[in-house]
Amino acid sequence: MANLYQLSSTSLDALFAALLDDGRRILAPTDRDGHSELNPVQTPADVARDCLQTTLSAKGAVFPKVEQLLGYSLAPGQVQLADPERRAEPTVLFGIRPCEAAGFQALDAVFNWGTRDAFFNARMASLAVIGMSCTRSDEACFCTSVGGGPGATRGSDILLTPTAGGYLAEVLSDRGRAIQALAPELFSPAPADADQAVLLAQVPVAFDQPALTAQLPALFDSPLWEEQALRCVGCGACAFVCPTCVCFDIQEEGDKQGGRRLRTWDACGFSQFTLHASGHNPRPTQAARWRQRVYHKFSIYPDRYGQLGCVGCGKCTRACPVDMNLREHLLQASQAQAQAQAQAQR
């Protein structure tokens, strides 16, 4: 393959140095008491060795948990608005998984639907992604059921695959080529018989997603959702760790002199997400809110944006206090119609 190279493990040090010299910060998974999160690193030695996935997703690099949208100062009869400077520190995300890298496209679909979100775009414009293929997976993963895979390239500018002595490197975009150009000597052509596929984790397809998406409209009133949501405690952990969840709140903070308007992460699982000031709540039960999560990702996104709102990373399952396993729930949903028909026939 023309864009397939190899890098030795030791040359990562030089690559990191070249990136830092180029004025970029590097965010990579680091270990902390058994949790892995994306943090600034200086050398490959800082990067978590054996991290399947970070708990929080990479979306925080382009959609932070708190972001100032505007500021204002107040005087009698006067308001002065302040348009915040666009934050765009050149950043390289190193070592994020193909599933997470695929999430950026879903974020872009929302942030640039109709109107363009300047804050997101400024950060995306300054971002490059060096992804890391997966050589193992766990029971929460289901990337292959949603059009992804352990070696999928969507969203990565360079994709590394661990191999003996180093990595295979696919250089996938202009941004990837620009990184390569910082230290071209580190990238030697991959051997002709290099086979990326055998190095990757086996992730069997768990459910028929196109069939599920087609069935969802008919399942809206199914008792399935109440059953699945019985143990859901209504927190926002799933939405907040998700690479594609983008729902947000806008909050105002200030006093008589002035203040600021902040955007923060929000979640459809919270009971007051759709609560009207009148007290009316269109989604008054956890079952309705759980159903919304599934439908938003698997029915509404394909309809609106031509892509799924889920990358199969499994972070939600791992973060959930009560193990709401999305893959398991979706498999059950995809079987629900057939089961109901079988029931009716008995």
Q: To the nearest whole angstrom, how small is the minimum distance from the Cβ of residue 191 to another protein?
A: 32
Q: To the nearest whole angstrom, how small is the minimum distance from the Cβ of residue 166 to another protein?
A: 29
Query: Strand order of the sheet with strand 258-265?
Result: 78-82, 66-75, 258-265, 248-254
Q: Which two tokens stand for residue 117?
A: 């979100």
299 part of the interface to another protein, by CB under 8 A? yes
Pick the closer one to another protein by CB: 165 or 254. 254
Q: 10 Å Cβ neighbour count for 203?
A: 20
Buried b (16+ CB within 10 A) or exposed e, 270-309: beebeeeeeeeeebeebbbbbbbbbbbbbbebbeeeebbb
Pick the closer one to another protein by CB: 3 or 281. 281
178 part of the interface to another protein, by CB under 8 A? no
Pick the closer one to another protein by CB: 166 or 312. 312
Whole-angstrom distance, CA of residue 187 vs CA of residue 206: 36
* Interface with another protein (CB under 8 A), residue from 42, 138, 195, 338: 138
* Interface with another protein (CB under 8 A), residue from 140, 183, 190, 336: 140
261 part of the interface to another protein, by CB under 8 A? yes
Q: To the nearest whole angstrom, how small is the minimum distance from the Cβ of residue 109 to another protein?
A: 10
Q: Which two tokens stand for residue 239?
A: 């939405």
Residues 110-129 that bind another protein (CB under 8 A): 110-119, 121-122, 124-125
Strand partners, 38: 29
The window from 18-26, 93-101, 162-170, 275-283 that contacts another protein (CB under 8 A) reads 275-283
218 part of the interface to another protein, by CB under 8 A? no
Measured distance between the N- and C-terminal CA atoms of the chain, rounded to whole angstroms: 56
Beta strands (DSSP E) in 217-323 are: 248-254, 258-265
Q: To the nearest whole angstrom, how small is the minimum distance from the Cβ of residue 143 to another protein?
A: 15
